[in-house]
Structures are given as C-alpha cells and as structure tokens.
Amino acid sequence: MSFDRFTEQIRSAEELAALVGTPSVLSLRKELKSLDEHMRRFIAHSPFAVISTHSSDGRCDASPRGDAPGFVHVVDERTLLIPDRFGNKRVDSYRNIVETGRIGLIFLIPGFGETLRVNGRATLITGEEWLAPLTAQGKCPLIAVAVEVEECFLQCAKAIIRSKLWEAHERPKLDSLPCAAEMLHDHAQLPDFDVAKMQTLLDEAYENKLY
C-alpha cells in the first residue's frame, strides 16, 4: 500500500511538535530507569500484558500474554521474567527478540485506569533454576523472556476511560461480529475444516491446551 493518497503527512519531529505541542514536566519526570516499589506491586497485580517487538527488517508485532496476577516475575528492579505458555508455535515475538533484542511492554490490571509501560532489552532464556519458579498448573515453561528494564512509567487512564473498557454495562454488542471459528475458516481456507470443525478445534485448545 502506498501512502501517496495522503497528501498532508507529518514528516519530521519538528512538524509533529508544532502540531501537538510539547510534553509536560510531569510527563517527562515520571519516567524511571528501574522499577520502584509501586511498579513492582503493579506487575504483581497484573494478569495481562502486551509484548511489542520488531524484527531486524522492521516488521512489528504486538502479542498478548496473560495468566494469574503476577505471572510476570520481578527478579529485581531492572529484571523481569515472562514465562512462555502453550501457544500456536508461531513464536513471532521470540524470533524478533532473537533478531533485535528489544521489547516494549504494557501491563493492565482489570478495573484500574492507568497502565504500566516498560521498555528495554530482551533475550530468551532456558535453565531450570529460572524456569522452575515460573511453573503454572504443574507445567514448567520451556522458555522465558528475560527483560532488562531501560525505561518505565505509568500511562495515564485517558484511553481506558474513553474506551470504557472496564465498564461492564458498556460492553459492545457482538451480534454483527462473526465468531472466531467463522473468521479463521475464512482466513485459513483449509479444505478439511468447516466452521463446525474449526469451532471444535478452538474449544479443545481452550479447554485442554492452556498450559
């Protein structure tokens, strides 16, 4: 796709700053280089995070991670461990980490407006002494992502407030949205899988292959 159809594009940081303005003192000073006690407690309460990575050729990926609150282990103020859980083996995030060693994280806590952003270096690790404490439901992960924190800060709640994400009465109506099995059937185009078989595949994965 070409962006040529967008005739008015912002092409420099100076243009961007002229349009949106400059960050406040608070926005700049809230950034820390290591996890303080507040951030460590935040991660301990978080059951969900999004991992952002990029490959050496610039392909970007954002991948959800979730488990019981505190599933991401805080080793110390500069180090996090993110356990691998059973998945589809695409390992897009992991390949990107092998190639570039960079990561961005957003931690969410249901019902809490602010999110926690963590950026830094990353590597994939094995080794029983590190993986065994990350065991869940009797399954020890094969891999963990070790994160060296370089910057971390709270993100304000405006996006959560605008989306009304935690307001149950505001959940969107899904009548016009096809189920996941129908979408995957149309995307994958596997001749041996109709929608019913695709739903059975999903149901079994969600029932028996979470760990």
Residue-wise pLDDT for 87-113, tens only, equals 888 999 999 999 999 999 999 999 999
User: pTM (2 decimals)?
Assistant: 0.89
Q: Which residue would you say has higher pLDDT here, 34 or 1?
A: 34
Task: Read off the tokens for 157.
Answer: 């709640």
**Nearest Cα to 147, choosing from 194, 97, 187, 197?**
97
What the chain holds in terms of domains, given with CATH numbers, is 29-163 (2.30.110.10), 172-208 (no CATH)
Kindly report the backbone phi and psi dihedral angles of residue 120, in degrees, each rounded to the nearest multiple of 5, phi listed first: 175, -160
Q: Distance between CA 30 and CA 22 in Å, rounded?
A: 15
Q: Distance between CA 154 and CA 165 in Å, rounded?
A: 18
Residue-wise pLDDT for 123-141, tens only, equals 999 999 999 999 999 999 9
